Structure 1
């Protein structure tokens, strides 16, 4: 007979009811997790709600910087948060530069108040926190930054009112590699119309069938000059510039459209480039002729042009022109948008060499023509935004900083004769003007065009609306450049190997060249105007100003 087990031993051996104990313990753990989830959900919900209020408050603050604190307070009160809210409002500037860490892009500033940083704090309710934490609320804080983006669009180098169709066709034909035959009306239509680069990029994206591509991705896509010109025409057509669109399509029918067009080397949209669409009122407009010419310059790999204008200028028996279009400063694009959304437009450095032969004014030189070699070297002209005036929210004004093209002009022979290498300085020497049996005449002259200085040019809302073009001149702009060179010619007359004074020979050369000087000035102006460069001048125009609505940036 077995002994009866003790109660404790029986309890140890008894397995009944173990599941109940484990279930009870698990239930307590689940209830704890549920309580934690409820409290965390409450904190998350209140944090999201507070963030929404902070976002709205930041937009309200930057929209009315004079009464920023009151605007934030009114926004908080309108949202009726369940707990009292503390607020901190900071005004300053926002730098939209991807290279700068996000936390460092806002800079408090008492003068530049184009951005606002709002910090709101309140308490989130805890439903079960009294058990674990001994309190019913926990503090939460959220920040938001909003900035006001004021944009202006402007152009530099459009001066085509007195356009000569023949010279323009010759230049574009040389750039395009095929015969271009546009009428003066076509060129005027191109010169008078602006194309929005964002609308152009949208048209290009659609034609290339790019889905959700940013502006930068669109401009860096593989495409041809023909596709780019067609997108320009499409954008012009959509904005109602039908004459300019027709002129671009006429140009498209004659150019070598299959040439590649590396638009990302031509245009840098900066912070706008990351967008895949334009916000309402946002645009970057440029002159259509300047855009098409820059596109053809890019397609012409060596950017060298040779023109034979023959005897098209009165009094001149032969005219040949060589152009060498160099690089822009630091290999910069033609148009760039800065981190502040401000475009900088640059013309290219250019060398122009013109050689003409002029019939002599008398019989002293026999049947020989007078040779006149003209050399013009121009550095880049630049323009950039200095300030945007949005004190009148309905119509803003703008101030540009403009640096006219500088350089010099000369009557000289060049050594080396190749003008295409802009990195190699040219040596100028006396040029043979007349060479007949027993008589040789050489001459040299030079005119410099000032030092590089930025000049301030302001445009009122009325001037912007009227599409006013303002010319900015260097301090030593020379009017009648060719005549100034001819007047300053240092002549050397050699007869039968003997150097003598200029005498009647020099007077005859002066009488021969002076009458053709105005025509040559006209030719120089036409060529440089077509290239977007002017002798010691820059023409600028503000196409429009947008005093932007505030937008969240962080």
Structure 2
């Protein structure tokens, strides 16, 4: 009995010991799980807090520094650190921030950040070393322990803010009124193929109204054009006429008037232009929005936000008219009495045929919309993300002169190449003001003096105009007939020819050293800014060089420069004798011709060529630049 009681007591004591041990083990495990859970939760919260710091720092650095190329790395780091400090993250004491400007691109369907001093994105990498855990810290105190007491945390954020500008280089064709130049009427009449009453161009502000590309696309439906099924690329590439573009503009503006947004705008101007474009005799080509606007980035995509940029209606229509006339040889009817009144006695020498003016548009200008900065990988002459060109054209001015003892057909031709302007940077100030920086390389040019017929040759070749065709067209010298007539020939003939070419660095790559123009807005300046090239090769200098390079040859008995020796073959012999032996005797004749030509050529350049070039947006040796609008999208995290 006593043995049984002892056994029972032993079992109870053993069970109590086992329960105590189990309780200790279970309690320890529970405590360990709690510690691990607390440590894991603490590390998760620290990581989340660190990510919030990085996100806010990146977004605030972009928002406060602006976007669009450039930007001081030190200033970006300061903005990021200030943002982090407001979120309880002070650099130092195992905390650090790394701030970098760059750009984001698509690679294999994924967004990738690349460092780029001209980029519009900012990457912030935040690092913080925190205590690993309570147990790890206790273990780290033991001798010989290699358990780390600190755990490094890292958070990365990339923020971007799209910034887009619309700008032009000499496209304000419809921004001028009749007082600006007596040549505006004939020029617009030639472009439209009809007469246009220029009273409609009196300043009224309608042509300064801004239209966004999105409004133009949506306006297609207002005139019965359904482009919803073709997507944005189809809309940009769809061919329309100038009249249809005017239809869309009228429909959009009429809708604004009815909604009260525009007030009581008089749309008579646009309706007159509509009528002129529909009834004109000139065969205008179809154009597309993509021909008028340079939109696509280096990847061939239209950047988001570009559709919201406002375009000046007058600039858009001016570019459209030149694009629709590409390849046409325009004949402008200019009366001698109207244009050359200031020539004085020289005007009396111009034949009743008056002036002959021919205009060939080789490449029309464009309005550019896009971001600022350089391309990471340049494409040929394209080194910048957004570029725009001024018109490339050929302008011929000629007149038939009847002098006392001689008559001649005078031809003066100016071949103007495309100038280029690029969007260097866009910045936003703390007060919301924006600044746009443009760089410009003014147009190349060449001036030729020769026979009117040969200078007009490209315009009679079926309207096939391009730079190579015009350059390769032979230029014949001016034939001056002395003591004779066109039908009977002359005893003495004089030929005159000259050329002058303006260089501009030998290429069309725009560099940081090229002339710069700064614009601040909004509101953006209503008038363009003129930027002059370093070389200053203006039209006046070219004509002076032209007159200094006159090549005057004298021929007797019908000898000429094409190998014909005239009567009995003696013309060539006498021609050599005259030019090599007795040329000095005829110096007074040469000097007289030079004295007669110099004021006439100069006057034609100043009164006809220069005003027409300006109306078309070209100033030789300089460029007219204008920022039309700048749009900045919301700051967003992209990585």
Aligned-residue offset at 1:266 = 2.7
2:502 to 427, 444, 449: 449
Please name the residue that 1:430 is paired with. 477
Q: Is the 8 A contact 1:213 1:276 kept in 2?
A: no
Q: 1:172 to 1:105 in 2, by over 3 A?
A: farther
Q: Is the 8 A contact 1:89 1:116 kept in 2?
A: no
Aligned-residue offset at 1:524 = 0.7
Please name the residue that 1:376 is paired with. 414
1: CA distance, partners of 2:479 / 2:240: 48
Deviations 1:9-51 (A, max 9, x none): xxxxxxxxxxxxxxxxxxxxxxxxxxxxxxxxx9xx9999999
Q: 1:417 to 1:91 in 2, by over 3 A?
A: same
1: CA distance, partners of 2:334 / 2:326: 23
**Normalising by the residue count of structure 2, what TM-score does the alignment of the two structures yield?**
0.61
Please name the residue that 1:335 is paired with. 368
Please name the residue that 1:407 is paired with. 445
CA RMSD of aligned residues (A): 4.5
2:405 to 353, 364, 378: 364
3-state SS in 2 of match to 1:402: strand
Pair 1:535 & 2:620 matched:
yes
Q: Is the 8 A contact 2:413 2:455 kept in 1?
A: no
Pair 1:250 & 2:272 matched:
yes
Pair 1:115 & 2:122 matched:
yes
Please name the residue that 1:71 is paired with. 83
2: CA distance, partners of 1:200 / 1:434: 61
1:350 to 393, 397, 405: 393
Moved more, 534-543 or 225-234: 225-234
Q: 1:480 to 1:339 in 2, by over 3 A?
A: closer
Alignment gaps of 5+ in structure 1: 1-41, 78-85, 123-138
Please name the residue that 1:6 is paired with. none
2: CA distance, partners of 1:242 / 1:440: 66
Q: Is the 8 A contact 2:168 2:368 kept in 1?
A: no
Pair 1:179 & 2:194 matched:
yes
3-state SS in 1 of match to 2:210: strand
Alignment gaps of 5+ in structure 2: 1-40, 65-75, 130-151, 341-346, 374-383, 460-464, 559-574
Q: 1:96 to 1:253 in 2, by over 3 A?
A: farther
Aligned-residue offset at 1:117 = 4.5
3-state SS in 1 of match to 2:475: strand
How many pairs were matched up? 474
1: CA distance, partners of 2:368 / 2:617: 13
Q: Is the 8 A contact 1:182 1:251 kept in 2?
A: no
Highest CA radius of gyration, 1 or 2?
A: 2
- Equivalent residue runs for 1:178-327 within 5 Å: 178-183=193-198, 186=201, 193=208, 195-198=210-213, 200-207=215-222, 208-211=225-228, 216-233=233-250, 238=256, 240=262, 246-256=268-278, 260-270=286-296, 273=302, 275=304, 283-285=309-311, 287-300=312-325, 302-311=327-336, 312-314=338-340, 315=347, 316=350, 317=352, 318-327=354-363
Q: 1:232 to 1:275 in 2, by over 3 A?
A: farther
Deviations 1:485-523 (A, max 9, x none): 445433223344454534246415633661563244221
Aligned-residue offset at 1:347 = 1.8
Aligned-residue offset at 1:540 = 1.3
